[in-house]
Structure 1
């Protein structure tokens, strides 16, 4: 049985009132309890104030509101987390009242009896089932029972989440509902056994390798093996690449191939890397990538052009005339700026230029742990909170790269030393630049990590793996997106800024140089840069800002109030 999908047609588009009009309707509806009218109207006003526009100027359109609200955190809006959640919930109710929201944050409708029966099979307290409960409430609201759920229902649910809800990540919510449905069907025989197609939300254009000629696949694998060969007599001007770097190069070639296919080149017309790196073909693929990122020279476009040139020069050995053309493409696609990206600078300055936010960030790990211990004994939810605190502590005290952070293993990378301090040691084979990383954590941080390992980590570990941050599957580490999202959301909610794991490396360098502007060598060793030039280039923009600030302080010290005053020019007498 397939459930039809409906939406507003192009001929009859849905029109939306403004938030001001929604508020006026609510205040005028005397059938609503006075407290309900007051709460919803107040929430609409508070949301408009947080967005920074009059309510009369904001369309009550979920698709328009979502991006305006998505970046706001309680701290940015000037509210406590609980109050901010209530504002969003009451605003959702106001939009539901106005008929423009079909999936409010909290539906005031219990799942049907049939839904309660299947949901009762799930173990209690697992936060991952939130999406299934929301899906069940939405389905009940639309008259859909569990045995009616199929791929068409998921498509309709995803459409309503996107078009008629304020859910922050509608695509992900629909995907999680389908994924957890399949997991429940696998775990419980009494659960409806129809499997759902899990939506693929990735915006990708590359094709599977199987779509290309076998000759091309063999050529790519031979090239990758050559990149990793530890042979000093090979004709190349770089050392052998590590497995992670080789995977990146293979992925970049796959993206270039996908770009060519998007430009109309049949996969069978790409028999080997020589065909791919012909100047006309390379330009066709690189143009697609350049247009895809907004016709801008970015680090990504520059790296893609560099890979093409590297293959053409060292592997295919194209003629000099071809290499000159490819070199010209590399030059044109080189970003104008060097060092730290503008986005990272913006995020860093949001903390560096605000002492209160910096203090809140540094205090956040202790706050999360203190709250967790006050709530009660360890549980899965509390363990996630303590894990977030440990991740932040590791990033603050040993600003390692995200891949190394995810891959930390007990007994391998983390070892207890005398006195209870924990040492972190990462071999060069696992770091980006091939240089080992080592450091010993302070006693206070080591005790916190030890508490997490002994009391909270067992609530998260599903197998016998030794990962410091275990994932959802047995013996697996936490996913890349999962760890990034966990860090970002905690900081946004508690501190009112957006920081990624990579930003902590920039923050570490900034704090060292703020304390000692000449300590570039210390920053180089702290971050594991291969050479001092990398450190100098990365912090150039911030150095100038600090230099101007220091010069201003110098001038202030020499300007003494009440001291010598500039001479007044003598007035000349005018002859009568």
Structure 2
């Protein structure tokens, strides 16, 4: 289909135009619109549209087809099909502004809502569609963005005659279904998550709010049984084990009777506690033991029963051998040093763990693939531009909360580009750790308790970053929930941002420019960029990354430098060859 001039000058349409207008559109066209080509034809034939509005709609639909890379006749006129196209559309790759893409999305949504078959339910954010009960309830929320987050849910429940007091977790399933069938502009899961967050916060902070806690309808049922499901003896053993590995030991060797040389980190303790529950669950679900029989940690240390449970896990996890063998190896430590097994039992455990995997000392294949994006210098330049792009968008965003989230994202990516802290460290950075210097730069002083290796770290962040951080803290950060706390990236309760939320923020920043990144990838990227340009910088990279030994940097992060090294050697050989040629 021929492309026409694309004009975005007309105002963004409302999501839910008056019913009379929609009825007028429906009477003009007898055949329902099944594909986006049908939508295009309906818009072209609609006599109620002004010439300018019709031209803009047709231009937008043509542009949509170009972005999809398919004829409009092949694209169903459904919300899910349209969302799939826009999910792959990145403004930077298309050479347009994000606002331009948002306007195009709204234009397509307007056309589909007008000409596609009418839907049974609605999930718009039109306040006029709330009933009095919902309007009164939402009015109790003082924060504007939290009221807005519940607006679609209020409209849906009003239409379905569900009062606030009758809301149940199952109500969200119907709401989510309505969104997936009708929502084009936003991702349904994100709308549902925002609804859950605002509802649960209101239930906590507003006494008259219905006291029902909502959870995601798309969240799978947890496989691992909760701790409360197990006998009290098992729960007590886990509590005692946690206390023992958290306390400062008195042992002079790596192990005494029941103590480690040093306390385990909280993240390690948390992962082990989950592992213990996972194995106990496997013992039950494999039929090896009954739930009430697991009354102590020692039950996890029977090598014969454990073998059956681990084989069950191997099948459940789809044949992930390394993961199951790592579980066995960790339980071997528990059995040897805390369960006081007999020598025969220990021998069986050793046999069970004979094929346990060696410590992984190289970058994973997935991260290797992600890192290969930056073999193209243009992609690295694109990533470097992300903080400035986000900061510019934040300054142009009227909504204070959205602007603060954008500027926060800019600060986080800027820190990762410069010093690449681990995610656990990044999310727990405190404002007081940034010390201003005479040259307007900052020194970031990270205490040992936050570092994986338990050693403090001091890092310099230049004046350019200092300006970005100052702007965020002085102008934007106060609009974030929990901003009264000490954390640079606050959570809603003034504690640190959750691990998952921080992770998604970074992934989203890359996704917006068409790059597949995650927080840990920045650690590999810092090494790649610096060492490829100057091999002698590996020592400096090691210090910035907080490694105890430079060998860690070389083993884990430098294994991919073969290409760069071979290029340098090739150049040396070429130079030597040229020097030896007779003149």
1:465 equivalent among 476, 480, 485: 485
Does the CA contact (< 8 Å) of 2:39 and 2:116 recur in 1?
Answer: no
1:408 equivalent among 429, 432, 447: 429
Change (3 A) 1:540 1:181: closer
Residue 198 of structure 1 aligns with which residue?
214
Helix, strand or coil for the counterpart of 1:397?
helix
Residue 572 of structure 1 aligns with which residue?
none
Does the CA contact (< 8 Å) of 2:43 and 2:54 recur in 1?
Answer: yes
2:327 equivalent among 291, 304, 310: 304
Residue 426 of structure 1 aligns with which residue?
446
2:222 counterpart of 1:222: no
Instruction: Note the 1:266-415 alignment, pairs <5 A.
Output: 266-297=290-321, 300-301=323-324, 303-318=326-341, 319-328=345-354, 330-331=356-357, 338-350=361-373, 352-373=374-395, 379-411=400-432, 413-415=433-435
Residue 515 of structure 1 aligns with which residue?
533
C-alpha RMSD over aligned residues? 3.9
Residue 526 of structure 1 aligns with which residue?
544
The answer to which of 92-101 and 319-328 deviates more is 92-101
Tell me the CA shift for residue 317 of structure 1: 4.6
2:250 counterpart of 1:231: yes
Tell me the CA shift for residue 95 of structure 1: 4.6
Instruction: Note the 1:37-186 alignment, pairs <5 A.
Output: 43=60, 46-47=63-64, 49-58=66-75, 62=79, 69-70=86-87, 72-96=89-113, 97-99=115-117, 110-112=128-130, 114=132, 118-123=137-142, 126-139=144-157, 142=159, 144=161, 150-151=167-168, 152-162=170-180, 165-166=183-184, 169-184=187-202
Residue 3 of structure 2 aligns with which residue?
none
Tell me the CA shift for residue 527 of structure 1: 0.9
Change (3 A) 1:27 1:455: closer
Does the CA contact (< 8 Å) of 1:290 and 1:301 recur in 2?
Answer: yes
Residue 574 of structure 1 aligns with which residue?
none
Does the CA contact (< 8 Å) of 1:17 and 1:60 recur in 2?
Answer: yes
Pairs aligned (count): 535
Distance of 1:188 and 1:211 partners within structure 2: 31
Helix, strand or coil for the counterpart of 1:501?
coil
Distance of 2:350 and 2:85 partners within structure 1: 46
Tell me the CA shift for residue 341 of structure 1: 1.9
Distance of 2:98 and 2:196 partners within structure 1: 29
Change (3 A) 1:550 1:293: farther
Change (3 A) 1:242 1:40: same
Distance of 1:104 and 1:511 partners within structure 2: 50
1:456 equivalent among 476, 484, 487: 476
Helix, strand or coil for the counterpart of 1:330?
coil
Distance of 2:430 and 2:503 partners within structure 1: 18
Change (3 A) 1:29 1:410: same
Distance of 2:72 and 2:569 partners within structure 1: 45
Tell me the CA shift for residue 162 of structure 1: 4.0
Does the CA contact (< 8 Å) of 2:434 and 2:444 recur in 1?
Answer: yes
Structure with higher RCO (Cα < 8 A, 6+ apart): 1
Does the CA contact (< 8 Å) of 1:89 and 1:106 recur in 2?
Answer: no
Structure 1 alignment gaps of length 5 or more: 1-15, 566-576
- CA-to-aligned-CA distance 1:526-566 (integer Å, 9 cap, x gap): 21123333322323552123234445656776898xx999x
Distance of 2:455 and 2:69 partners within structure 1: 48
Distance of 1:252 and 1:268 partners within structure 2: 19
1:547 equivalent among 565, 568, 571: 565
